[in-house]
Amino acid sequence: MTTNLVPNDSLLTDTPEQGRALAIKLARLIIKATQPDEATRVRLREQYANDAVMLIQIAQVVATEFATIAAANGYWNRKPT
Amino acid sequence: MTTNLVPNDSLLTDTPEQGRALAIKLARLIIKATQPDEATRVRLREQYANDAVMLIQIAQVVATEFATIAAANGYWNRKPT
Amino acid sequence: MTTNLVPNDSLLTDTPEQGRALAIKLARLIIKATQPDEATRVRLREQYANDAVMLIQIAQVVATEFATIAAANGYWNRKPT
Amino acid sequence: MTTNLVPNDSLLTDTPEQGRALAIKLARLIIKATQPDEATRVRLREQYANDAVMLIQIAQVVATEFATIAAANGYWNRKPT
Amino acid sequence: MTTNLVPNDSLLTDTPEQGRALAIKLARLIIKATQPDEATRVRLREQYANDAVMLIQIAQVVATEFATIAAANGYWNRKPT
Amino acid sequence: MTTNLVPNDSLLTDTPEQGRALAIKLARLIIKATQPDEATRVRLREQYANDAVMLIQIAQVVATEFATIAAANGYWNRKPT
């Protein structure tokens, strides 16, 4: 099956580093689903990569996606509560 | 019963990919409930699909909806904590 | 007792569909509590129903309210983790 | 002891209705702590009660506060998961 | 050890009131870490204390910090679920 | 293995203070991944360190990242619920 929204159709990763990369990817794939035109996305990416407010907002999205991924992965070895 | 806000009236999906698609759908159905006029929504969609800030904000909404859906689905096989 | 902020004074609903409707209602009742004047609210509603940014922000609020409602309802039958 | 940030120094309420009222109160008390001048707050309140964007942002804050209060209160009788 | 980001290097407080105060403090210390210059911070604080939008955004940050602090403190006696 | 998104590829820290520092670092590394050019980032950092709105938004991102880190670390000794 082709997946367009979740690579490998799984939230599980081996490490936090890979979890962060997945969080970035999930955010990008939502933007791709909302704006399928590649040329438009390239133009918009140029905008937000050079705008402080938008960079911070992207960081907010990634933080939110990562919270879910981290929970799915048992925080890659959580300390006992 | 007709459902206008949750397809199949369930948060459960078979896969993360389907969970992401549901998250997008849930967000769209709230916008539809708030702005029922189809022509207006088409016009507004044209706006936000071409605006970097709005695309990022949509990604934020989807990330929030997905967190709930992922929790409902036991993260589609969560690693042990 | 009159309730102005939570219909039936309960977060429990029979279905996810009803949970989404409650999330919308909770958000509206906060706006009503903050701006009690009906005529003003009607005017503002006209604004945000026709503004893409505001529609997305409303979707964000509803997503946040729904996360709480879904948790309260055990996600209407959560899959085992 | 005087409390300026949490009425009765407790997150527990008897009902969801009271929990929503507490969420509104908690948000207001943070604004009061940040801007102690009553006259300034009255002026700003006039602004945000008549601005659609700000009303939605206030709803977002209340939704976030309420999530914590609801968790503290066991969701006022949560359904079994 | 000197701590610049968390007073007493702990999230635990005796009461919700103290938990709110800690949430405000945590937010301020992040702003201090990002903008170390005292004079600049004083100037910016003057701005946001007199701007309705920014006051609401500060309330949002505090609500988010408080959610974590409340969880760390077992909600200062949570009701049974 | 080189890690570009998570220092030491772990969410675990010894103390809350270190957890806050990690939260700041995680946010910065996402911005770096989105805008790899050092000179551009320095220019943008100058902007947001002197803008009240952006400072508050950064605090919001850090609060969100910290919530995940705190959960991963069992809140550095959570009180019993």
Instruction: Tell me the per-residue pLDDT of E24-76, one tens digit each, with 9 for 90 and over.
Output: 999 999 999 999 999 999 999 999 999 999 999 999 999 999 999 999 999 99
Give the pair of three-digit tokens for residue B75: 């993260």
∠C40-C42-C46 over CA atoms, to 5°?
Answer: 115
Q: Is there a contact between C10 and D76 if contact means CB atoms under 8 Å apart?
A: yes
Asked whether the beta carbons of B68 and B26 are under 8 A apart, the reply is no
Comparing alpha-carbon positions, the chain B residue that sits nearest to C55 is B31
Buried b (16+ CB within 10 A) or exposed e, B1-32: eeeebbeebbbbbebbbbbbbbbbebbbbbbe
Torsion angle of C-alpha atoms C14, C17, C21, C27, degrees rounded to 10: 100
Asked whether the beta carbons of A9 and A3 are under 8 A apart, the reply is yes
How many whole angstroms separate alpha carbon B46 and alpha carbon B54?
A: 11
What is the pLDDT, as a whole number, of residue A2? 73
How many whole angstroms separate alpha carbon C16 and alpha carbon F61?
A: 29
C81: exposed, middle or buried (C-beta count within 10 Å: 0-12, 13-18, 19+)? middle
Taking contacts as CB-CB distances below 8 angstroms, the residues of chain E near F15 are 6, 9
What is the pLDDT, as a whole number, of residue B60? 98
* Chosen from D13, D75, D78 to mutate, greatest number of chain C CBs within 10 A: D75
Reported as a pLDDT band with limits 50, 70 and 90, residue D29 is very high
pLDDT at B76 over 80: yes
What is the pLDDT, as a whole number, of residue D3? 79
Put simply, whether B74 touches C (Cβ < 8 Å) is: yes
Sign of the torsion formed by the C-alpha atoms of F37, A56, E7 and E70 = negative
How many whole angstroms separate alpha carbon D40 and alpha carbon D42?
A: 5
Asked whether the beta carbons of C75 and D81 are under 8 A apart, the reply is yes
**Cβ neighbours of residue C50 under 8 Å, at least 6 residues apart?**
B35, B40, B44
For range A43-56, the mean pLDDT: 96
Nearest by CB: A59 against F9, F31, F51: F31
Percent of chain B with pLDDT over 90: 90
ipTM score here? 0.93
pTM over the 0.90 mark: yes
Quick one: which of F64, A8, A20, A70 has its CA closest to B20?
A: A8
Asked whether the beta carbons of B11 and C76 are under 8 A apart, the reply is yes
Taking contacts as CB-CB distances below 8 angstroms, the residues of chain C near B12 are 77, 79
Put simply, whether B62 touches A (Cβ < 8 Å) is: yes
pLDDT at A79 over 70: no
Give the pair of three-digit tokens for residue E73: 């403190």
Q: Is there a contact between E16 and D35 if contact means CB atoms under 8 Å apart?
A: no
What is the pLDDT, as a whole number, of residue B1? 58
Q: What is the pLDDT of residues F6-26, one digit of tens each?
A: 999 999 999 999 999 999 999
F1: exposed, middle or buried (C-beta count within 10 Å: 0-12, 13-18, 19+)? exposed
Torsion angle of C-alpha atoms F56, F62, F64, F70, degrees rounded to 10: -140
